[in-house]
Amino acid sequence: MAMLVAKQNVPFSFNDDFNKSVKDMFPDSNIAKQYSCGRTKATQIVKGAIAPALNKEVVQLCQNQPFGLLCDESTSRSTDKEFVILARVFNEERLVTKFLDMPVCNIGKAENLFTSLNKVLSERKIDWSNVVAFNSDNCSVMKGKHNSVVSRIKEVQPSLIDVGCICHLAQLATGCGIKALHQPIEEVLQSIYNHFDIRYCATRWLSLHTCINRVLNQWNALLAYFESHEDVEKPGKVKMLAGHLSNKETKFFFIFLSHALKPLVDFNVAFQAEGVMVHRLHKEMCNLVRRYLGRFLPAHLIADVPLKEIEFQDTSLQLPDEDLFIGQQAQTFLEDNKDELSVPRILLAVRGFFVAVTSKMLKVFPLDNTVLQNLYVLDPELRYTFTPSSVIELGKKLPQLELDQDSLREEVVAFQITARADLPEEQQVDRFWALIEKVGRFKNLARLMKALLCIPHSNASSERVFSMVRKIVTENRTRLDNSTLCSLLSCKLNFTGPVHTYVPTKSVLQAARHCTYNYNKHV
């Protein structure tokens, strides 16, 4: 019952009523008559028995093998600012993301954040050498070169791999494109959503695309609504919105963005996934950049040319206006309203959007990261396409693994010449390498590959934790202290199966018997 309450965000006070109801629901059951688990006992079982056992399992995983760290600081306006710490680690045959801790760090300076992080690892006796990779949002406090959390981590772990959060970088490219249009897109969205007491959050990854589509679906209804509502508290805002919604140019750019942002949305959704994607990251980044280049450049200037050498800003090399790829709906709208619109000026803004998005992606995407460039070796279907030297170079990036280069080279060659039928029949990359490790012939290779798989490709997991926190700490449940909140998060994140499949160990049952007694003893 305690685990059910923790997993389903049910207030602990529910147990008081449920405790009394059990006897009435099952009057003929001796077990029901003896059932006793009120608010206090349920709380202490979660904090003193279930969560500690789950936390211990995670700590043991991190103590005995390489793992990746994911961190994020809270930006809420609450009294306490939390700093969530997750581990990307192998558990048996799967790569999973586990909850380590969420200490309070009210002053979010790099020094304080690193101190909190270092304390969490040292208290659990987790060696920094096991940390192979780090990911967080891309703010200067976390990722700056000289005075950041990453710079401090590299002082104790020089071989740390940090590829950045690709989802945040895609969001930055979107923002640059919107600014280049010089259109009140976000102003219109914010005003509409605020008018109906719904908050549009511009910082959420590509929420802009969803909001644009929603407004387009309701465009005529919204226009009729704002044109007929003059007698309101803020007539200026209503009049402004009515003006924008009746403007053909504004509607064109909404239609255009609905199509133009789709590749970024698809890319973002793919890399928010919990599954293993890091081996595809470099290829997908390149594909995304080329998709946008293909919207305003001839194909012969893009194909087989290194991305950094493409002269996409030269307007003389770009496609003519009639060949720009703006989407069928936008093209039809432009043709139907060409007498009311300044088509050359609009298409000039469209070019600006494409150039701005492409420029930002080329600037911020880690396209030159040699680790990402070579991570395709993780894909067993591509084992004939890489050389042993490329694997050796990846091994050098993780000196803490202490891999023998000669043995590693022999294992790479042996792996490449092994018939596919003699390798595990497994499509998931993480499970494949976990099974390969058990074969025995490729221990060094499998150990390296498993360590590389722990590199987080985005910080979406950390962001999801704060979404969980908002569901746990509601207006009617604001008195939860940090230790209780961390215990609840541990139950939700460190046990991912259905509640009815949770089987407490003997040590958990023993701790459950004593935790309430110990709590009452010290109250």
The SS3 of residue 84 is strand
Q: Which among 59, 45, 56, 47 has a CA at the least distance from the CA of 509?
A: 45
CB within 8 Å of 67: residues ≥ 6 apart? 61, 87, 88, 89, 90, 130, 131, 132, 454
pLDDT tens string 26-68: 888 888 888 888 888 888 999 999 999 999 999 999 999 999 9
- Name the DSSP letter for residue 161: B
The SS3 of residue 137 is coil
Q: How far apart are CA 190 and CA 170, in angstroms?
A: 21
Q: What is the pLDDT of residue 77?
A: 56
Give the count of beta carbons closer than 10 Å to the beta carbon of residue 479: 7
Q: What is the pLDDT of residue 235?
A: 75
Phi, psi of 102 (to 5 degrees): -145, 75
The SS3 of residue 68 is strand
CB within 8 Å of 521: residues ≥ 6 apart? none
List the Cα angle 99/83/117 in 5-degree steps: 80
pLDDT tens string 143-192: 888 889 999 999 999 999 998 899 999 999 999 999 999 999 989 988 88
Q: What residue ranges of the chain have pLDDT lower than 70? A: 75-79, 197-206, 230-234, 522-523
Q: Which among 31, 80, 190, 28 has a CA at the least distance from the CA of 484?
A: 80
Q: What is the pLDDT of residue 203?
A: 47
Task: Give how far Cα 134 sits from Cα of 27, 152, 209, 276, 371, Å.
Answer: 55, 12, 29, 16, 14
Q: What is the pLDDT of residue 24?
A: 85
Residue with tokens 């390798």, as numbered in its chain? 423
Residue with tokens 């990779």, as numbered in its chain? 133
Burial class (CB in 10 A: 0-12, 13-18, 19+), 418: middle
Is residue 73 within 8 A of residue 83, CB to CB? The reply is yes
Q: Which among 172, 116, 186 has a CA at the least distance from the CA of 364?
A: 172
Two tokens, residue 435: 């099974």
pTM of the model: 0.90
Q: What is the pLDDT of residue 206?
A: 66
Q: What is the pLDDT of residue 32?
A: 83
